[in-house]
Amino acid sequence: MPGQCVIGLQWGDEAKGKLVDLLTEGKDLVVRYQGGANAGHTVVIGDDVYKLHHIPSGIINAGVLNLITPGVVINPPTILKEINSLAERGIDVSTRMKISQRAHVVMPWHVLEDKMWNELVSGEDNIGTTLRGIGPCYADKIGRSFAIRMGDLIQPDFADRVRKIVAVKKKVLSATSGDQVVELDPDAIVAEYTEYAAQLASMIADTNRILLDAVDEDRNILFEGAQGSLLDIDHGTFPFVTSSNSSGVGISAGSGVPGNWIQEVIGVTKSYATRVGGGPFPTEQDNDHGQHIRDMGNEYGTTTGRPRRCGWFDAVAARYTARLGGVTSVALTMLDVLSELETIAVCVAYELNGERIDHFPAHVNELRNLVPIYETMPGWQTDVTGARSLDDLPANAVRYARKLESLIGRKIEYISVGPDRAQTIHIQKRESLEEYLKGKYV
């Protein structure tokens, strides 16, 4: 069986954790391949709610091996906290998870740099990062000379390396921070991180080997994307993006599996749009509509608690990210959030400098100047949280999903109507919603 992947088609928070949890059934491995503790994945099973940042969502299922591969950046105290809180709930992570030796470590200076860089850029240029040190850690990875990988933590020259890096970082940070004191004590950092390494030692491994062996053995593997495609460092709304390849193109590079082996990619999208932090958001509704969506969808960040910006579904953006990621089918989430609305708008194209365009522009200045062209659909004004099949949905809800399906250009395979595992419609036959509606309502 080829690898199955779950990626976000928007700016993150598409409810990927729930889908990953569903698809984990029958899998041998679940792989997190990019991002770090900036992610927030919520998995709800019955009354149990698990909020994960670092650890793959497959951790809740016994019998699944979870891998954190080279493309991820690890914050040791954060991941240990997560491991300990899962242990309190009876989940022994150490027997279910391996972390790549090649994954880079988010060190204390990365968090300081993230905060400092954030303070230096104000107004609409501010990215509004999660302040988790993600960008600076990836910057050091690319720069190489001052990077530390998980495997380095247990090398004999670790202390020496930290001292050399801290000496340089202090100079740079002091130069930019003015009078602020830069508190980085290399000996304390070495002692602290050596202790973290000891606690994580049994989990640090060569995940490339494990994964390539699993590919040779035809194991069932699920790849779990973090953030969303529009936050991709190369293909997203740069510079208002994260620092990793969070679209479908990141799966191969971040995990270490050959690209031609990835054949099934499920693109997850909300039934509307949200984004956290700064940057262009063409369909944003900074008004009562947006507030209604925020209230109904409880749109507050899992990682930072920030209220999310909310708006209408942007089909141009979703079509772009579905094509970019080689998406084979779509999971439409949070449909229930729209249930009270009388009418729902969908962005079908943009106007840029007086011209209609149907592609997603590359430059931030173009993205900022887009005027969405909307089509309006009638709402269904019926609670759909109990729906378990297409037949249980009001016709207008299916019509809305069909509209999105035809605009994205990929079949919708899952519709989620609530946070619980059970609140999911799986369109097994993979018929298009157009065919379904014809058969039912001619």
Q: For residue 235, which of 367, 56, 368, 353 has the smallest C-alpha distance?
A: 367
Question: Of 43-51, 132-140, 285-293, 427-435, which segment contacts ligand IMP by CB under 6 A?
Answer: 132-140
Closest CA to 14 of 50, 41, 51: 41
Q: Is 232 in the site for ligand IMP (CB under 6 A)?
A: no
Give the one residue of 4, 34, 38, 247 binding ligand IMP; rule: CB under 6 A: 38
Number of helices and strands (H, E) in the chain?
13, 20
Closest approach of ligand IMP to the CB of residue 236, in Å: 9
String of contacts with ligand IMP for each residue 271-290, x by CB under 6 A:
-----xx-------------
The distance of closest approach from Cβ of residue 13 to ligand IMP in the complex, given in angstroms and rounded to an integer, is 5
Question: Which of these ranges, 8-16, 203-211, 357-365, 407-415, lies near ligand IMP under the rule CB under 6 A?
Answer: 8-16
Q: Phi-psi bin for 381: left (phi > 0), alpha (psi -120 to 50), beta?
A: left
Q: In which element (H, E) is residue 426 found?
A: strand 424-426
Residue 213 catalytic?
A: no
Q: Specify whether the CB–CB gap between 397 and 335 falls below 8 A.
A: yes
Going by C-alpha positions, the residue among 223, 207, 222, 225 that lies closest to residue 100 is 207
From 33-41, 55-63, 147-155, 312-320, give the range in contact with ligand IMP by CB under 6 A.
33-41
40 binding ligand IMP? (CB under 6 A): yes
Give the count of beta carbons closer than 10 Å to the beta carbon of residue 206: 15
41 is catalytic: yes
Binding-site size for ligand IMP (CB under 6 A) equals 20
With CB under 6 A as the contact rule, the residue among 5, 19, 20, 39 that binds ligand IMP is 39
Stretch in the footprint of ligand IMP (CB under 6 A) among 38-46, 164-172, 256-264, 334-342: 38-46
Q: Count Cβ atoms below 10 Å from residue 9 Cβ, excluding itself.
A: 31
Q: Please, which residues have CB within 8 angstroms of residue 403's CB and are 6 or more apart in sequence? A: 346, 375, 377
Q: Note the Cα 294 to chain centre separation in Å.
A: 19
Residue 269 near ligand IMP by CB under 6 A: no
Taking CA 391 as the corner, what is the angle to CA 386 and CA 397, rounded to the nearest 5 degrees? 75
Question: Applying CB under 6 A, which of residues 58, 70, 135, 248 lies at the interface with ligand IMP?
Answer: 135
Cβ contact 102:150 at 8 Å:
yes
Binder of ligand IMP out of 100, 220, 227, 321 (CB under 6 A): 227
Q: Which of residues 236-265 bind ligand IMP (CB under 6 A)?
A: 242-243
Rule CB under 6 A: say whether 17 interacts with ligand IMP: no
SS3 label, residue 233: coil
Lookup: tokens for 90: 């009876």
DSSP 8-state code for residue 88: H
Catalytic pick among 21, 28, 41, 157:
41
Does residue 5 touch ligand IMP according to CB under 6 A? no
The reply to whether 67 sits near ligand IMP by the rule CB under 6 A is: no
Assess contact for 38 and 230: CB atoms under 8 A: no
Q: Does 7 bind ligand IMP (CB under 6 A)?
A: no
Residue 286 neighbours by CB under 8 Å, 6+ apart: 309
Distance of alpha carbon 16 from its chain centroid, rounded? 7
Contact with ligand IMP (CB under 6 A) among 27, 96, 98, 132:
132
State the minimum distance, in angstroms, from the CB of residue 239 to ligand IMP. Answer: 9
Q: Report the catalytic residues.
A: 13, 41
Residues that bind ligand IMP (CB under 6 A): 11-13, 38-40, 127-130, 132, 134-135, 226-227, 231, 242-243, 276-277
